């Protein structure tokens, strides 16, 4: 079964890539909810955080650090930013590949939804 984000990670589908390393790739969201809205995904397919195991602990830590680096590189760290993982339909997950949203560039309300 084809996965949109796996296809982006393998460059089968183009994206506006912000950064990439051995384990993750970060790219601009096509429907941004903030002035800065980047998705950071693991290159390994995981449907959601619910599917992660102890064996994925290092990858998950790397994903969070990559999200932090994206915020720094895009200049939203000082003003503040949000990292969001949506899980499942009720959690707002629309693509079934684990991804972290990095949102910034404006004041973000709470609660979010």
Q: Which of 34, 81, 87, 79 is nearest to 60 (CA)?
A: 87
Fold of 4-104: HIT family, subunit A (3.30.428)
C-alpha distance from residue 97 to each of 45, 51, 88, 102, 106 (Å): 6, 10, 10, 16, 27
Contact criterion met (CB below 8 Å) for 22 and 65: no
Q: Predicted confidence band at 112 (pLDDT cuts at 50, 70, 90)?
A: confident
Contact criterion met (CB below 8 Å) for 32 and 106: no
Contact criterion met (CB below 8 Å) for 77 and 93: no
Known catalytic residues are: 99
pLDDT above 80 (res 1): no
Average pLDDT over residues 48-56: 97
> What per-residue confidence (pLDDT) applies to 19?
97
pLDDT tens digits along 57-109: 999 999 999 999 999 999 999 999 999 999 999 999 999 999 999 999 999 99
Q: Predicted confidence band at 111 (pLDDT cuts at 50, 70, 90)?
A: confident
The Cα 35–Cα 37 span in angstroms is: 6
Q: Which is higher by pLDDT, 93 or 110?
A: 93
pLDDT above 90 (res 3): yes
């Amino acid at each position: 079964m084809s996965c949109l984000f796996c296809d982006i990670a393998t460059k089968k589908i183009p994206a506006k890539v912000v950064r990439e390393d051995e384990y993750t790739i970060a790219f601009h969201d096509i429907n941004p909810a903030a002035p800065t809205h980047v998705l950071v995904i693991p290159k390994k397919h995981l449907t959601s955080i619910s599917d992660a195991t102890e064996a994925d602990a290092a990858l998950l830590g790397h994903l969070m650090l990559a999200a932090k680096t994206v915020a720094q590189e895009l200049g939203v760290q000082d003003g503040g930013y949000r990292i969001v993982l949506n899980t499942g339909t009720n959690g707002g997950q629309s693509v079934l590949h684990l991804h972290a949203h990095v949102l910034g560039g404006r004041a973000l309300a709470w609660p979010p939804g």
